[in-house]
Amino acid sequence: MNSNAVEADGAGAARRPANRSILSVPPELADEQLIARMGIEITSWDADRMVGTMPVAGNRQPFGWLHGGANAVLAETLGSLAAGMHVAPRGAVAGLELSCTHHRSARSGLVTGVCTPLHRGDRVVTYQVEITDSRSRLTCTARLTCLISKR
């Protein structure tokens, strides 16, 4: 199966990666995950890059802009999945630190996060996530560090 493939579960349903092993979530719990509630879609991934999108609609703060916490959720989702792919199946990951610098916000459309590794060690991994708006303007730069535990 192509690692870039996604599937839809029916009319209006959130799209999910066709290869569910990337999420390691039992199918009966898939709709209870934060990424499903926020509309996050993983659009492509490989060993050196993970890309996902998130709609602004439904993820706004009271003033109508994309909520900064939504950027953090997108960044941590991409970074954690990338870290999990790095260690699978020999280990598990847990987030240690997430920092987000919000450069500008978005009012509509989709934001896209691109996650790339900064450091991939045996015990600690660090990823950078750049989030852009629908006009390709940088809205947030995030850095996630995860601890690797061996199984």
Tokens 């699978």 belong to 88
Which of 84, 78, 68, 148 lies closest to 115, judged by CA? Answer: 78
Residue 56's contacts (CB-CB under 8 Å, 6 or more residues apart) are 66, 106, 107, 108, 109, 110, 111
* Burial of residue 109 (number of CB atoms within 10 Å: 0-12, 13-18, 19+): middle
Q: What share of the chain is helix, strand, coil (3-state, %, to 5)?
A: 25, 45, 35
Tokens 């703060």 belong to 61
Known catalytic membership, residue 130: no
Instruction: Report CA-CA distances (Å) from 140 to 101, 128, 137.
Output: 5, 11, 9
Point out the catalytic residue in the list 7, 32, 41, 76.
76
Residue numbers annotated as active site: 76
